[in-house]
Protein backbone atom coordinates (compact mmCIF):
# COMPACT_ATOMS: atom_id res chain seq x y z
CA UNK A 1 0.00 0.00 0.00
CA UNK A 2 1.01 3.60 -0.59
CA UNK A 3 2.48 5.68 2.21
CA UNK A 4 -0.69 7.72 2.55
CA UNK A 5 -0.30 11.20 4.09
CA UNK A 6 -3.48 12.65 2.60
CA UNK A 7 -5.20 15.39 4.61
CA UNK A 8 -8.70 14.11 3.90
CA UNK A 9 -10.21 11.91 2.76
CA UNK A 10 -7.39 10.17 4.52
CA UNK A 11 -5.88 6.76 5.24
CA UNK A 12 -8.07 4.05 6.76
CA UNK A 13 -6.69 1.18 8.83
CA UNK A 14 -5.82 -1.79 6.61
CA UNK A 15 -7.59 -4.19 8.98
CA UNK A 16 -10.79 -2.16 8.62
CA UNK A 17 -10.63 -2.23 4.82
CA UNK A 18 -10.02 -5.97 4.86
CA UNK A 19 -12.95 -6.62 7.14
CA UNK A 20 -15.19 -4.38 5.00
CA UNK A 21 -14.03 -6.33 1.96
CA UNK A 22 -14.94 -9.63 3.62
CA UNK A 23 -18.39 -8.32 4.54
CA UNK A 24 -19.02 -6.50 1.29
CA UNK A 25 -21.26 -8.99 -0.49
CA UNK A 26 -22.61 -10.79 2.57
CA UNK A 27 -22.96 -8.81 5.77
CA UNK A 28 -23.37 -11.03 8.81
CA UNK A 29 -25.02 -13.88 6.87
CA UNK A 30 -27.91 -11.81 5.45
CA UNK A 31 -26.95 -12.59 1.85
CA UNK A 32 -26.54 -8.89 1.00
CA UNK A 33 -24.30 -6.00 1.84
CA UNK A 34 -25.26 -3.53 4.56
CA UNK A 35 -25.78 -0.99 1.75
CA UNK A 36 -28.63 -2.99 0.29
CA UNK A 37 -30.99 -3.24 3.25
CA UNK A 38 -33.43 -0.86 4.85
CA UNK A 39 -32.11 1.64 7.32
CA UNK A 40 -35.12 0.59 9.43
CA UNK A 41 -33.91 -3.03 9.52
CA UNK A 42 -32.73 -4.71 12.69
CA UNK A 43 -29.22 -5.07 11.22
CA UNK A 44 -28.81 -1.38 10.49
CA UNK A 45 -30.40 -0.28 13.74
CA UNK A 46 -27.80 -2.36 15.50
CA UNK A 47 -25.00 -0.62 13.58
CA UNK A 48 -26.52 2.77 14.45
CA UNK A 49 -26.82 1.94 18.16
CA UNK A 50 -23.45 0.25 18.42
CA UNK A 51 -21.63 3.12 16.69
CA UNK A 52 -23.16 5.65 19.11
CA UNK A 53 -22.20 3.36 21.98
CA UNK A 54 -18.60 3.13 20.75
CA UNK A 55 -18.37 6.94 20.73
CA UNK A 56 -19.73 7.02 24.28
CA UNK A 57 -17.24 4.42 25.40
CA UNK A 58 -14.13 5.77 23.68
CA UNK A 59 -14.77 9.41 24.60
CA UNK A 60 -16.34 8.57 27.98
CA UNK A 61 -19.26 10.82 27.06
CA UNK A 62 -21.23 11.65 30.21
CA UNK A 63 -25.01 11.37 30.57
CA UNK A 64 -26.93 14.27 29.08
CA UNK A 65 -25.33 14.26 25.63
CA UNK A 66 -26.64 12.93 22.32
CA UNK A 67 -24.46 11.50 19.56
CA UNK A 68 -25.91 12.36 16.14
CA UNK A 69 -24.94 11.19 12.67
CA UNK A 70 -25.71 13.91 10.12
CA UNK A 71 -24.88 14.73 6.51
CA UNK A 72 -23.52 17.82 4.76
CA UNK A 73 -20.02 17.61 6.21
CA UNK A 74 -18.47 19.83 8.85
CA UNK A 75 -19.26 22.68 6.45
CA UNK A 76 -22.97 22.18 7.12
CA UNK A 77 -22.25 22.49 10.84
CA UNK A 78 -20.69 25.89 10.18
CA UNK A 79 -24.28 26.95 9.41
CA UNK A 80 -26.32 24.62 11.62
CA UNK A 81 -24.55 25.74 14.78
CA UNK A 82 -25.54 29.42 14.43
CA UNK A 83 -28.95 28.56 12.94
CA UNK A 84 -29.83 26.56 16.03
CA UNK A 85 -27.94 28.38 18.76
CA UNK A 86 -27.53 32.01 17.79
CA UNK A 87 -30.71 33.80 18.83
CA UNK A 88 -31.60 37.47 18.20
CA UNK A 89 -30.11 39.62 20.94
CA UNK A 90 -27.18 37.26 21.47
CA UNK A 91 -23.70 37.22 19.95
CA UNK A 92 -21.62 34.29 18.79
CA UNK A 93 -17.95 34.46 19.81
CA UNK A 94 -15.37 32.92 17.47
CA UNK A 95 -11.65 32.33 17.79
CA UNK A 96 -9.86 32.91 14.50
CA UNK A 97 -7.02 30.43 14.13
CA UNK A 98 -6.89 30.16 10.35
CA UNK A 99 -8.65 28.76 7.31
CA UNK A 100 -11.30 26.57 8.94
CA UNK A 101 -12.11 28.93 11.79
CA UNK A 102 -12.63 31.67 9.20
CA UNK A 103 -15.00 29.52 7.17
CA UNK A 104 -17.01 28.72 10.29
CA UNK A 105 -17.33 32.35 11.33
CA UNK A 106 -18.17 33.52 7.80
CA UNK A 107 -21.26 31.30 7.86
CA UNK A 108 -22.29 32.55 11.29
CA UNK A 109 -22.03 36.15 10.03
CA UNK A 110 -24.70 35.36 7.45
CA UNK A 111 -27.04 34.43 10.26
CA UNK A 112 -26.50 36.82 13.14
CA UNK A 113 -24.17 38.85 15.33
CA UNK A 114 -20.63 37.54 15.44
CA UNK A 115 -17.61 38.72 17.39
CA UNK A 116 -14.05 37.55 16.81
CA UNK A 117 -12.81 37.45 20.41
CA UNK A 118 -9.25 36.26 19.70
CA UNK A 119 -7.10 35.69 16.67
CA UNK A 120 -3.66 34.41 15.77
CA UNK A 121 -3.68 36.38 12.53
CA UNK A 122 -0.81 38.61 13.69
CA UNK A 123 1.30 35.45 14.12
CA UNK A 124 0.38 34.36 10.58
CA UNK A 125 -1.71 31.61 12.18
CA UNK A 126 1.29 29.77 13.59
CA UNK A 127 -0.07 29.88 17.17
CA UNK A 128 -3.26 29.36 19.15
CA UNK A 129 -4.27 32.54 21.01
CA UNK A 130 -4.03 32.54 24.80
CA UNK A 131 -7.63 32.33 25.99
CA UNK A 132 -6.89 32.08 29.71
CA UNK A 133 -8.18 35.58 30.49
CA UNK A 134 -10.92 35.69 27.90
CA UNK A 135 -14.03 37.49 29.14
CA UNK A 136 -17.31 36.73 27.47
CA UNK A 137 -20.35 38.93 27.92
CA UNK A 138 -23.65 37.55 29.21
CA UNK A 139 -25.10 37.91 25.73
CA UNK A 140 -22.66 35.37 24.31
CA UNK A 141 -24.59 32.47 22.76
CA UNK A 142 -21.48 30.27 22.50
CA UNK A 143 -17.73 30.31 21.93
CA UNK A 144 -16.59 28.50 18.78
CA UNK A 145 -13.09 27.09 18.37
CA UNK A 146 -11.35 24.86 15.81
CA UNK A 147 -9.41 22.32 17.87
CA UNK A 148 -7.01 21.49 15.05
CA UNK A 149 -6.39 23.67 12.00
CA UNK A 150 -5.87 21.10 9.26
CA UNK A 151 -4.30 23.53 6.81
CA UNK A 152 -2.07 25.52 9.17
CA UNK A 153 -1.05 22.53 11.31
CA UNK A 154 -1.77 24.06 14.74
CA UNK A 155 -3.67 22.46 17.61
CA UNK A 156 -5.17 23.49 20.96
CA UNK A 157 -3.25 21.76 23.76
CA UNK A 158 -5.81 22.84 26.36
CA UNK A 159 -9.31 24.26 26.13
CA UNK A 160 -10.66 27.54 27.51
CA UNK A 161 -12.90 27.64 30.51
CA UNK A 162 -16.06 29.36 29.31
CA UNK A 163 -18.20 29.13 32.45
CA UNK A 164 -21.89 29.09 31.51
CA UNK A 165 -21.20 29.90 27.87
CA UNK A 166 -21.31 26.71 25.77
CA UNK A 167 -17.98 25.83 24.19
CA UNK A 168 -18.36 24.54 20.64
CA UNK A 169 -15.54 22.87 18.76
CA UNK A 170 -14.91 21.82 15.21
CA UNK A 171 -12.83 18.69 15.81
CA UNK A 172 -12.88 17.42 12.24
CA UNK A 173 -9.17 16.78 12.08
CA UNK A 174 -8.31 15.57 15.57
CA UNK A 175 -11.35 13.87 17.05
CA UNK A 176 -10.46 10.53 18.70
CA UNK A 177 -6.74 11.27 18.37
CA UNK A 178 -6.40 11.91 22.12
CA UNK A 179 -8.47 11.61 25.30
CA UNK A 180 -10.98 14.42 25.79
CA UNK A 181 -13.13 15.76 28.60
CA UNK A 182 -16.42 16.05 26.73
CA UNK A 183 -18.13 17.65 29.74
CA UNK A 184 -16.22 20.88 28.95
CA UNK A 185 -18.13 21.23 25.66
CA UNK A 186 -21.66 22.14 24.67
CA UNK A 187 -21.25 20.75 21.17
CA UNK A 188 -18.51 18.99 19.21
CA UNK A 189 -18.71 18.27 15.51
CA UNK A 190 -16.47 16.48 13.02
CA UNK A 191 -16.62 15.41 9.42
CA UNK A 192 -15.65 11.73 9.33
CA UNK A 193 -13.09 11.63 6.56
CA UNK A 194 -9.91 12.13 8.61
CA UNK A 195 -9.94 10.13 11.83
CA UNK A 196 -13.33 8.41 11.72
CA UNK A 197 -13.92 6.78 8.36
CA UNK A 198 -14.94 7.67 4.82
CA UNK A 199 -16.70 10.96 4.03
CA UNK A 200 -20.48 11.14 4.03
CA UNK A 201 -21.23 11.31 7.74
CA UNK A 202 -20.69 14.11 10.24
CA UNK A 203 -20.70 13.38 13.94
CA UNK A 204 -22.31 15.86 16.34
CA UNK A 205 -22.03 15.39 20.10
CA UNK A 206 -24.46 17.82 21.68
CA UNK A 207 -25.46 18.59 25.26
CA UNK A 208 -29.16 17.93 25.54
CA UNK A 209 -30.11 21.35 26.91
CA UNK A 210 -28.82 22.89 23.65
CA UNK A 211 -31.29 20.89 21.59
CA UNK A 212 -34.14 23.37 21.15
CA UNK A 213 -37.25 22.77 19.01
CA UNK A 214 -36.13 25.52 16.56
CA UNK A 215 -39.40 25.28 14.65
CA UNK A 216 -38.54 28.31 12.53
CA UNK A 217 -35.88 26.23 10.74
CA UNK A 218 -36.31 23.72 7.90
CA UNK A 219 -36.82 20.28 9.44
CA UNK A 220 -33.51 18.80 8.30
CA UNK A 221 -31.53 21.71 9.76
CA UNK A 222 -32.78 21.35 13.34
CA UNK A 223 -30.74 19.34 15.81
CA UNK A 224 -34.03 18.42 17.48
CA UNK A 225 -35.19 16.53 14.37
CA UNK A 226 -32.16 14.26 14.40
CA UNK A 227 -32.09 13.87 18.18
CA UNK A 228 -35.80 12.98 18.32
CA UNK A 229 -35.36 10.41 15.56
CA UNK A 230 -32.13 8.77 16.72
CA UNK A 231 -30.40 9.98 13.50
CA UNK A 232 -32.99 8.07 11.46
CA UNK A 233 -35.26 10.93 10.36
CA UNK A 234 -34.33 10.33 6.74
CA UNK A 235 -32.09 7.77 5.03
CA UNK A 236 -28.69 7.98 6.71
CA UNK A 237 -25.35 7.42 4.93
CA UNK A 238 -25.45 3.77 5.93
CA UNK A 239 -22.14 2.69 4.48
CA UNK A 240 -20.19 5.59 5.97
CA UNK A 241 -21.65 4.87 9.40
CA UNK A 242 -20.90 1.15 9.06
CA UNK A 243 -17.28 1.98 8.14
CA UNK A 244 -17.04 4.38 11.05
CA UNK A 245 -18.25 1.57 13.30
CA UNK A 246 -15.36 -0.61 12.09
CA UNK A 247 -12.85 2.23 12.63
CA UNK A 248 -14.14 2.78 16.18
CA UNK A 249 -13.83 -0.93 16.91
CA UNK A 250 -10.28 -0.79 15.57
CA UNK A 251 -9.44 2.12 17.90
CA UNK A 252 -10.88 0.18 20.85
CA UNK A 253 -8.94 -2.97 19.96
CA UNK A 254 -5.78 -0.91 19.66
CA UNK A 255 -5.94 0.51 23.17
CA UNK A 256 -8.41 3.40 22.90
CA UNK A 257 -7.63 7.10 22.93
CA UNK A 258 -4.69 7.09 25.34
CA UNK A 259 -2.92 4.60 23.06
CA UNK A 260 -3.86 6.62 19.95
CA UNK A 261 -2.40 9.76 21.53
CA UNK A 262 0.86 8.04 22.45
CA UNK A 263 1.28 6.56 19.00
CA UNK A 264 0.35 9.81 17.28
CA UNK A 265 2.92 11.72 19.34
CA UNK A 266 5.59 9.15 18.49
CA UNK A 267 4.76 9.23 14.79
CA UNK A 268 4.75 13.03 14.61
CA UNK A 269 8.03 13.21 16.54
CA UNK A 270 9.78 11.18 13.85
CA UNK A 271 9.02 13.92 11.35
CA UNK A 272 9.32 17.01 13.56
CA UNK A 273 12.73 15.72 14.68
CA UNK A 274 13.94 15.72 11.08
CA UNK A 275 12.62 19.26 10.60
CA UNK A 276 14.28 20.51 13.80
CA UNK A 277 17.56 18.74 13.09
CA UNK A 278 17.84 19.87 9.48
CA UNK A 279 19.64 23.13 10.20
CA UNK A 280 16.94 25.12 8.43
CA UNK A 281 16.68 22.94 5.32
CA UNK A 282 13.13 22.12 6.45
CA UNK A 283 11.27 24.85 8.35
CA UNK A 284 8.26 23.98 10.51
CA UNK A 285 5.33 26.36 9.95
CA UNK A 286 3.69 26.14 13.40
CA UNK A 287 5.33 27.44 16.57
CA UNK A 288 6.55 24.33 18.43
CA UNK A 289 4.12 24.67 21.40
CA UNK A 290 1.13 24.53 19.05
CA UNK A 291 2.32 21.94 16.59
CA UNK A 292 -0.33 19.51 15.50
CA UNK A 293 0.45 15.79 15.67
CA UNK A 294 -2.17 15.35 12.92
CA UNK A 295 -1.00 17.78 10.23
CA UNK A 296 2.71 18.50 10.04
CA UNK A 297 3.28 21.61 7.92
CA UNK A 298 6.71 22.67 6.71
CA UNK A 299 8.46 24.74 4.10
CA UNK A 300 11.75 24.63 2.25
CA UNK A 301 14.03 27.36 0.91
CA UNK A 302 11.99 27.95 -2.24
CA UNK A 303 9.02 26.68 -4.20
CA UNK A 304 11.24 24.99 -6.75
CA UNK A 305 12.72 22.76 -4.06
CA UNK A 306 9.27 22.07 -2.61
CA UNK A 307 8.04 21.03 -6.03
CA UNK A 308 10.99 18.71 -6.35
CA UNK A 309 10.24 17.25 -2.91
CA UNK A 310 6.67 16.48 -3.95
CA UNK A 311 7.75 14.89 -7.25
CA UNK A 312 10.47 12.75 -5.74
CA UNK A 313 8.27 11.69 -2.83
CA UNK A 314 5.56 10.60 -5.26
CA UNK A 315 8.05 8.54 -7.22
CA UNK A 316 9.11 6.89 -3.95
CA UNK A 317 5.53 5.83 -3.10
CA UNK A 318 4.42 8.73 -0.85
CA UNK A 319 1.01 10.31 -1.36
CA UNK A 320 -0.45 13.64 -0.22
CA UNK A 321 2.61 15.61 0.89
CA UNK A 322 1.77 18.77 -1.02
CA UNK A 323 0.49 21.58 1.22
CA UNK A 324 -3.04 22.92 0.85
CA UNK A 325 -3.42 24.97 -2.33
CA UNK A 326 -4.29 28.10 -0.31
CA UNK A 327 -0.98 28.19 1.59
CA UNK A 328 1.47 26.09 -0.44
CA UNK A 329 4.43 24.38 1.17
CA UNK A 330 4.34 20.79 2.39
CA UNK A 331 2.10 18.88 4.74
CA UNK A 332 2.15 15.35 6.12
CA UNK A 333 -1.14 14.30 7.69
CA UNK A 334 -0.52 11.60 10.27
CA UNK A 335 -3.99 10.67 11.50
CA UNK A 336 -4.73 7.62 13.68
CA UNK A 337 -4.72 5.19 10.76
CA UNK A 338 -1.33 6.20 9.36
CA UNK A 339 1.06 3.41 10.38
CA UNK A 340 4.21 4.14 12.37
CA UNK A 341 6.17 2.49 9.55
CA UNK A 342 4.90 5.06 7.04
CA UNK A 343 6.25 7.83 9.26
CA UNK A 344 9.58 6.02 9.58
CA UNK A 345 9.72 5.76 5.80
CA UNK A 346 8.97 9.47 5.45
CA UNK A 347 11.63 10.30 8.02
CA UNK A 348 14.17 8.35 5.97
CA UNK A 349 13.03 9.93 2.73
CA UNK A 350 13.38 13.44 4.20
CA UNK A 351 16.89 12.71 5.46
CA UNK A 352 17.89 11.29 2.07
CA UNK A 353 16.33 14.20 0.20
CA UNK A 354 18.34 16.64 2.29
CA UNK A 355 21.52 14.70 1.56
CA UNK A 356 20.84 14.92 -2.13
CA UNK A 357 19.70 18.55 -2.25
CA UNK A 358 21.01 20.17 0.94
N1 LIG B 1 -13.20 21.78 9.49
C2 LIG B 1 -11.96 21.29 9.43
C3 LIG B 1 -11.04 21.52 10.59
C4 LIG B 1 -11.54 20.58 8.29
O5 LIG B 1 -10.29 20.09 8.23
C6 LIG B 1 -12.44 20.39 7.23
C7 LIG B 1 -12.07 19.64 6.02
O8 LIG B 1 -10.96 19.42 5.67
C9 LIG B 1 -13.72 20.93 7.33
C10 LIG B 1 -14.07 21.61 8.48
C11 LIG B 1 -14.71 20.79 6.23
O12 LIG B 1 -15.24 19.52 6.28
P13 LIG B 1 -16.26 18.94 5.22
O14 LIG B 1 -15.53 18.75 3.96
O15 LIG B 1 -16.71 17.67 5.89
O16 LIG B 1 -17.38 19.93 5.10
Q: pLDDT tens across 94-151, in order?
A: 999 999 999 999 999 999 999 999 999 999 999 999 999 999 999 999 999 999 999 9
Ligand 1 atom closest to Cα of 202?
A: 15
Residue 167 lies inside a defined structural domain of this protein: yes
Residue 197 lies inside a defined structural domain of this protein: yes
Take atom 10 of ligand 1 and give the residue whose Cα is closest. 74
Take atom 14 of ligand 1 and give the residue whose Cα is closest. 73
Q: In this predicted structure, what is the pLDDT of residue 295?
A: 98
Ligand 1 atom closest to Cα of 193?
A: 15
Average pLDDT, integer, range 222-232: 98
Final residue of a domain: which of 253, 280, 315? Answer: 253
Same domain, 260 and 248: no
- Tell me what percent of the residues of the chain surpass a pLDDT of 90: 100
Q: How far apart are CA 313 and CA 322, in angstroms?
A: 10
Same domain, 299 and 234: no
Q: How many CB atoms lie within 10 A of CB 243?
A: 24
Q: Which of 96, 170, 267, 322 is catalytic?
A: 170
Same domain, 182 and 43: yes
Q: How far apart are CA 53 and CA 192, in angstroms?
A: 17
Final residue of a domain: which of 253, 280, 303? Answer: 253
Residue 6 lies inside a defined structural domain of this protein: no
Same domain, 136 and 277: no
Task: Assign 29 to helix, strand or coil.
Answer: coil
Give binding residues as ranges. Answer: 40, 74-75, 100, 150, 170, 193, 234-235
Residue 3 lies inside a defined structural domain of this protein: no
Number of domains in the chain: 2
Q: What is the pLDDT of residues 147-200, one digit of tens each?
A: 999 999 999 999 999 999 999 999 999 999 999 999 999 999 999 999 999 999
Q: In this predicted structure, what is the pLDDT of residue 115?
A: 98
Same domain, 277 and 323: yes
Q: In this predicted structure, what is the pLDDT of residue 234?
A: 98
- Tell me what percent of the residues of the chain surpass a pLDDT of 70: 100
Task: Compute, in angstroms, the gap from residue 277 CA to the centroid of ligand 1.
Answer: 32
* ipTM here: 0.99
Q: In this predicted structure, what is the pLDDT of residue 336?
A: 98
Average pLDDT, integer, range 48-73: 98
Same domain, 309 and 240: no
Same domain, 159 and 279: no
Pocket of ligand 1 (CB under 6 A): 8, 73-75, 100, 146, 150, 170, 172-173, 191
Residue 2 lies inside a defined structural domain of this protein: no
Q: What is the CATH number of the domain that holds 208?
A: 3.40.640.10
**Domain extent for 328:** 256-357
Q: Comparing C-alpha atoms, which of 194, 198, 178, 223 is closest to residue 77?
A: 223
Q: How far apart are CA 264 and CA 335, in angstroms?
A: 7
Residue 4 lies inside a defined structural domain of this protein: no
Same domain, 244 and 269: no
Q: Comparing C-alpha atoms, which of 96, 89, 135 is closest to residue 112?
A: 89
Does the active-site annotation cover 250?
A: no
Same domain, 63 and 178: yes
Q: How far apart are CA 224 and CA 302, in angstroms?
A: 51
Q: In this predicted structure, what is the pLDDT of residue 133?
A: 93
Same domain, 67 and 197: yes
pLDDT band at 221 (very low <50, low <70, confident <90, very high): very high
Take atom 6 of ligand 1 and give the residue whose Cα is closest. 172
Final residue of a domain: which of 253, 287, 316? Answer: 253
Same domain, 238 and 274: no
Average pLDDT, integer, range 297-311: 98
Q: Facing residues of 143 across strands?
A: 93, 167
Question: CB burial class (10 A; 0-12, 13-18, 19+) of residue 302?
Answer: exposed
Take atom 4 of ligand 1 and give the residue whose Cα is closest. 172
Give binding residues for L-glutamate as ranges. Answer: 40
Residue 118 lies inside a defined structural domain of this protein: yes
Same domain, 201 and 314: no
Q: Which of 66, 96, 100, 322 is catalytic?
A: 100
Amino acid sequence: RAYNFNAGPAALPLEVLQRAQEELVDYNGIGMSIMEISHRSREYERVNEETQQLFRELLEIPEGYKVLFLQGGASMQFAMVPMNLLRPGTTAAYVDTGSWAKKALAEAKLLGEVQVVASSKDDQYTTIPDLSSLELSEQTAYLHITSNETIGGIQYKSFPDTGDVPLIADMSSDILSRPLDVSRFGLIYAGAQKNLGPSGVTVVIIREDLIQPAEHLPTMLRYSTHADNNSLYNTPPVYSIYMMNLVLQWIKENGGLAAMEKRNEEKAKLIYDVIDGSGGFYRGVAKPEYRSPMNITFRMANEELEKRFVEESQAAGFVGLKGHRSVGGLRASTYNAVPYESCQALQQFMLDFQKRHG
